[in-house]
Every structure is written in structure tokens, then in C-alpha cells.
Amino acid sequence: MARLISVRIPATSANLGPGFDSMGLALDLWNTFELHLDETEHNGPLVEVHGEGADMLPTDASHLVIQTLLEELERLDEEPERRRRAPPVSPSTNHRTAHGFQSALLRRRSLIRIVCTNHVPCASGLGSSSTAVLAGLIFAYALAEQAQQADFLEQAGLIDRVLHRAAQIEGHGDNVGPALLGGLIAVSSQGDSVIAQRIPIPPMQVVVCVPTVNLLTREARAMLPTQLSRADAVFNIGRALLIVDALRTGNIELLAQAMGDRIHEPYRLPVIPGALDAKRAALEHGAAAVCLSGAGPGLLAFARGRHEQIGRAMQQAFAAAGVVARYWTLDTTDRGAQIEMGNVVAQAASISTCSKTGQ
């Protein structure tokens, strides 16, 4: 079994209170995906899942990584300039085709095996699905480009394209942006346009507490109102700008003042058992600001210190509501997706990359 490429992608926390669908933060908790091409075929593409989700995620072609990989390869296969390529499917096979590498691989998809080592909990508000989508896309472009170097995305000018496609598949870019690029990302998606701007911030630690509550993003989104008042929109715009500046400058007092939301948290927090009490407990035990992580059910707490006490307080508050919860004390990270080919590891996008647009 030949390992072609490995990708390591961080967890993310989106929205950050008032920044609904428009900003997210990369966290130092990672999922790793390895793409292998077996020498012999099996009954369709296979997935091995280790760690988080090993007891619930599919291990066949319905896994999100495989779905994304094959669908993107099919889409790329229709591009005329790519159909002219005809390399072997794997180093151990002589199978070739005049219709290009993608066509050959799609016909031999039963060679594909993906190994996932997950540390990001599923359905937690920490962007686990974004890591899977990005991994599938990176694998597809590595195969389509016949990549030989770990920095192939940047060398081939594909960062914009991967960001755009990931945002299309996910439906928004506030999780996939920081997962791909790292750090704090402000993002705007409109139709076929995606703009993502990396904003440098000082390192900090946060606490993430995730209750065992089944709340999928699409379900959380269905709870939201279809119309907003002007006052609520203006409130969120101002607060989101202040949140960005507080994180950029490390101003924890400003972060405490600015954290607030009128668009999504008033509708989501009350339906997560124990969430309001857990938020209150975190603030009482030293957190400066607390918000939902993404669509939830996880909570994100910012603090200067006492992170373990804050995590335990949130966990106990959930327990009092009859809900089991776990917590992590995590560093933020300015590193996004990392690609390994051979013995070389490279950032999918260099740390100096400040903005990306998808066309």
C-alpha cells in the first residue's frame, strides 16, 4: 500500500460571537488524513477511522472525505486540459488511459484507501466536517496535478480555488478559511466570490467545552430567523469589528466588553441543555468572554488564566443539566492545513499569505 500524501488540518471556531458567518479562528487540535493507493482492488474506496468518530463515521464511499475527493475528481475530469494527461494510476500498475489520470483513477476507485486520525470531535462546533472537505479537495488536486512536492497548492496557484470550492461545499467560509490558512480569518462569501483575510493576532489560550448533544449545523441554522431588525444588524456589525480589534491587539478587556450577539446565539443557546448555565459558570470562574463555537453545541471561552478551572466549571454546569461534556484547553494557531509528501512537510498556504479570493 503506497501512501501518496498526508494532510493535517486544524480545528476551527467560527462566528466568535457577533461575527456570524464572517470570521473564524484556527485552534491547535488536528485531524490527519492519509491517502493510499493499494496495489490490489477492494470493494470500493475504503476509509479507516481512528480516534474521534471511530464508532460512528462511515468507512466506505459515503465518508465525506471520499465523497469530496471523487466528486472533485469527476468535476476536474471534465476540464479539457486535464483530460490530455495520462500518467499511471499508481507506481505499481501499468494501467494507463488516453482520457487522463482522473478518468483512470475514477475507474479504479476501488484502489483508494484513506486513513483518518481524528482529534477534533464530530458535530461539536469545531469544524470537523471542514477538515474532511479540505482533505478531500487537497487529495483531488494532488492527484489531478500529479503533485510531487508538498507545497504544490501554492506553487500551482490553487489556494484560491481550494478555498472557493471548500466554501461552496460547506456553504460558508468561516470554518474552511482558518482551517486552510490558519490564524484569525475574516471572510465574506457572496455567490461565486469568496474573500478571506488573515488578521495577525498574538498567541492565546482558550477553553472549548463540548456537551454530548446532537446538534448538526443545518439544524442549528434552521432555528434562525429569516429577517433581522436594523438595530440588531448594526449591533452585530459594531461588535464584530471590536472583536477583531480585541483579538488583534490581545485586549482582553475590550473582548469582554464587545462579546455579544443578536443574530444566532439567542436562538441556539437556549435549546442546548445546560449551555446558558455553562456560559454563566465560565464567566463566574474567570472567563472574560464566552460564545458558541460555530453553530454549537460547543462553547468557547477566552481568559487570561485559570483555564482548567473554567473548563471544569463548564463541565460541571452541563453535568447538573444531565449532560456529559468534555473540555480542552487549546492554543490558537497561525498554521493552517499542512501537507506531507515523502519526508517533506509544507504549509498548504505560507504563513505570510494575507488574503485569498475565490473566483
Contact 156, 145 (CB under 8 A): yes
Can you give the pLDDT at residue 220? 63
121-125, 128-132, 218-222, 296-300: lowest mean pLDDT where? 218-222
Interatomic CA distance for residues 311 and 86, integer angstroms: 54
Q: Which of 20, 5, 2, 10 is nearest to 91 (CA)?
A: 2
In this structure, whether the domain defined by 2-200+335-358 belongs to CATH 3.30.230.10 is answered with yes
Question: How many CA atoms within 13 Å lie on the side-chain side of 1?
Answer: 14
Helix (H) or strand (E) holding 51: strand 46-51
Based on the number of CB atoms within 10 Å of its own CB, is 148 exposed (0-12), middle (13-18) or buried (19 or more)? exposed
> What stretches of the chain show up as alpha helix (H) in DSSP?
64-77, 80-83, 101-107, 128-144, 152-155, 159-170, 176-181, 217-222, 230-249, 252-258, 265-268, 275-284, 307-320
Q: CA 276, CA 296: separation in Å to the nearest integer?
A: 12
Residue 121 has pLDDT above 80, yes or no: yes
Boundaries of every domain in the chain: 2-200+335-358, 205-331
Q: Is the peptide bond before 297 cis (omega within 30 degrees of 0)?
A: yes
> Residues 152-177: pLDDT tens digits?
999 999 999 999 999 999 887 899 99
| Number of neighbouring beta carbons within 10 Å of residue 231 | 9
| Alpha-carbon dihedral angle through residues 140, 146, 152, 154, given to the nearest 10 degrees | -70
Average pLDDT over residues 266-279: 95
For residue 96, pLDDT over 80 is answered with no
Class of the 205-331 domain? alpha beta
C-alpha distances out from residue 176 to 16, 33, 67, 179, Å:
15, 16, 17, 5
Confirm whether pTM is higher than 0.85.
Answer: yes
Nearest to 135 by CA among 176, 82, 91: 176
Residue (of 126, 141, 131, 227) closest to 170 by Cα position: 131
226 Cβ contact list (under 8 Å, min separation 6): none
Q: Across residues 15-20, what is the average pLDDT?
A: 96
How remote is the C-alpha of 289 from its chain's centroid? 22
For the segment 206-241, what is each residue's pLDDT rounded down to a tens digit?
999 999 987 666 666 677 878 899 999 999 999 999
In the chain, % of residues over pLDDT 90: 72
The string of pLDDT tens digits covering residues 305-359 is 999 999 999 999 999 999 999 999 999 999 999 999 988 999 988 765 544 454 4
